[in-house]
Structure 1
Amino acid sequence: MDIGLHIADFTFPAGPARLAEDLTRVAVAAEDAGFTRVSVMDHVWQIGVLGPPEHEMLEAYTTLGYLAARTSRVELLAWVTAVSYREPGMLAKLVSTLDVLSGGRAMLGIGAAWNGDEARGLGLPFPSTAERFERLEETLQIVRQMWSESEEPYEGTHYRLERTLNRPQPLRTPPILIGGGGERKTLRLVAQYAQACNLFGGPDVERKLDVLRGHCEAVGRDYDEIEKTVMVPLDPGEKGEKVDELLAQLQGLAKLGVQEAHGWVPRVSEITPLELLGREVIPAAKAF
């Protein structure tokens, strides 16, 4: 099992004046510790589970470009892009640019979006749930077309592109990860379009994976082609006292077929938790 770092809280003790420096330290320490991916949220306000909306939040793709210049091995992605915040042609260009400038390390994490408060607050598009899912499917079709040799027009219900030209092409076709466990729509889109799914760790992971398997059978997709990822807190404790508990959780997920655990690390700016995970958790998880 691989371990990925999700940077979800940018309210570091030193404040905005040293945020770039602190973010660099976190990303470099994560890479040195053996994390395989580093992600950031695609939000413009902090989300309630982590803090008030007034806390610091960086724009995702600007931040990923910054991290590309300060790392050399980790894959980089937004976990996950809100489909309604960017036009799909520009999103394909953003991820292509990130891939080229990072040396082929970009992924596209994407979902149907959910934070209506921040969208309305900053005047970002936020249509109905049904329409957001329609836009998500069209966006998946568009980015896949733009990452191919086709320059043909695209005509959908919500998007119209006269020429899907994309130069330079990514160095590799960015894997698509779709976030969410919706059994009727989201997991069907995973089966049809994605290289990876993302679920929240919990008692329903096994059932969600069974649903995904059923969607794969329905569309003729090999279930084993899809990487299974789960979002979980990665807390080793202040002195490693939670390592055994965390490893037991990760081993249980691995037995269900989960291939990557991806999550936020408490007190990440202190770096010590990343070093603990690198010594005590990541090598053990590789064996699961």
Structure 2
Amino acid sequence: MVLPVLFGANVDPIWADPQSPLRLTRQVELAGLDLVTIQDHPYEPAFYDAWTLISHLASATQRVTFVPTVANLPLRPPAMLAKSAATLDVLTGGRVQLGLGAGALWDAIAAMGGPRRSAKEAVTALEEAIEVIRLMWSGERAVRFEGTHYHISGADPGPSPSPGLGIWLGAYGPRMLALAAAKTDGWLPSYNFLGLDRLGDAVARFDDAAREAGRDPAGLRKVYNLNGLIGPESTDPFRGSVSQWVEQIVSVVRDYGMNGFVYWPDADHARQIARFAAEVVPAVRAELGPVG
């Protein structure tokens, strides 16, 4: 199974202009893009709470899908995170995916009362959390899990989400890539942290791990977050002209099998998103044909 290529834009959860996230989200939807991503950094004073904001934005839209990038697991217990995502899935008719991460910025997390974890502990906790979330979505009665970091003892799940609600993992290291490929529904790397020079190796690790787990890599969502600007010709990836953007995205689809792209403009967000939606995305879809 080959998944269609999705396109979206990031909307910063900044509250200085209270209605800015809603304006941008409506722009994304009206432009025909598929996804809106929202950063989840609860310790950032300039940011709204991501889940509250997503709920507000979802109620004001009809078609676009929302993805936290990525839900801050150390500050959001997985059983409650599972319930939050399932609730939004039901209320929005399936317009949410659970972007999930192991955590970072541990000083800030600890300042809000969260745990401080080593890299190894963070991955172990994430693996346990995925198990907890799956159990909470299972529809079974009195689910139980006993792990090092997380425990549930006879919890009754509900509501039951749609089959389309998935977990998309922000992952870079070998252990995280293997976990994403074997246990989740998608992968959310970012160009800023995984450039084109390293993307091929990471995709190969991901695909190999998926096959080892008995899964078809082509059936998993692979969304590349693209920080950049659309403008004059440039030698830097994702900082050039429309034609350069089109060529680079088409190449990433064909060469590496990525099947989703979310634009994170470095500046001038409304105009940049408009150009991405009106000029880049249609040209990419035309070039890719049925896959796009």
Range class of TM-score, shorter chain: 0.7 to 0.9
8 A contact 2:222–2:258 mirrored in 1: yes
Q: 3-state SS of the aligned residue for 1:113?
A: coil
Any residues of structure 2 matched to 1:69-218 within 5 Å, and which?
A: 69-151=59-141, 152-183=143-174, 185-201=175-191, 202=195, 203-218=197-212
Superposed displacement of residue 102, structure 1: 1.6
Give the letter for the 1:7 counterpart.
V
How far, CA to CA, are the matches of 1:241 and 1:189 in structure 2?
34
The aligned residue for residue 51 of structure 1 is: none
Q: Partner of 1:162: helix, strand, or coil?
A: strand
Superposed displacement of residue 144, structure 1: 0.9
Task: Return structure 1 stretches of 4+ with deviation > 3 angstroms.
Answer: 266-269
Query: C-alpha deviations, 1:106-150, integer Å up to 9, x for none?
Result: 111111111123213323222222111111011101111111122
AA aligned to 2:135 is Q
Matched, 1:8 2:8: no
Among 9, 20, 37, the alignment partner of 1:39 is: 37
| In the alignment, structure 1 residue 228 sits paired with structure 2 residue 222 | yes
**1:39-91 Cα deviation digits (max 9, x unpaired):** 11111345xxxxxxx6x111111111111111111111211112211111101
Instruction: Tell me how far apart the structure 2 counterparts of residues 92 and 224 of structure 1 sit (CA, whole Å).
Output: 26
Q: Which residue of 2 aligns with 1:60?
A: 50
Contact 1:154/1:164 (8 A) holds in 2: no
Between the aligned residues of both structures, percent identity stands at 27
Q: For 2:188, what is the secondary structure of its paired residue?
A: strand
Contact 2:231 2:242 in 1 (8 A): yes
Q: Is the 8 A contact 2:36 2:67 kept in 1?
A: yes
Partner of 2:285: 286
8 Å contact kept, 2:13–2:48: no
Report the RMSD for the aligned CA atoms in angstroms.
2.1
Contact 1:2/1:285, CA 8 A, preserved across alignment: no
Change (3 A) 1:157 1:277: same
Equivalent-residue separation in structure 2 for 1:266 and 1:212 (angstroms): 28
- Runs of at least 5 residues in structure 2 that lack an aligned partner in the other structure: 233-238
Aligned to 1:261: 261
Separation in 2 of the partners of 1:156 and 1:22?
Answer: 41
Distance 1:126 1:268, change over 3 A: farther
Alignment-mate amino acid for residue 283 of structure 2: A
Q: Scaled by the length of structure 2, what TM-score is found? A: 0.86
Q: Is the 8 A contact 1:237 1:273 kept in 2?
A: no
Mean Cα deviation higher: 86-95 or 171-180: 171-180
Residue type matched to 1:237 in 2? G
Whole-Å separation in 1 of the counterparts to 2:178 and 2:124: 13
Q: What is the CA-CA distance between 1:285 and the residue it aligns to?
A: 2.1
Deviations 1:179-229 (A, max 9, x none): 12212x111111221111122332111111111122123222222221221
Give the deviation of 1:234 after TM superposition: 4.8
Shift in CA distance, 9/147, structure 1 to aligned 2, threshold 3 Å: closer
Partner SS state of residue 199, structure 1? coil
Task: Check the 8 A contact 1:76/1:106 in 2, yes or no.
Answer: yes
After alignment, is 122-131 or 109-118 more displaced? 122-131
Q: What SS does the corresponding residue of 2:74 show, helix, strand or coil?
A: helix
Residues 206 and 231 of structure 1, relative CA distance in 2, 3 Å threshold: same
Shift of 1:33: 1.1
**Which residue identity does 1:174 align to in structure 2?**
L
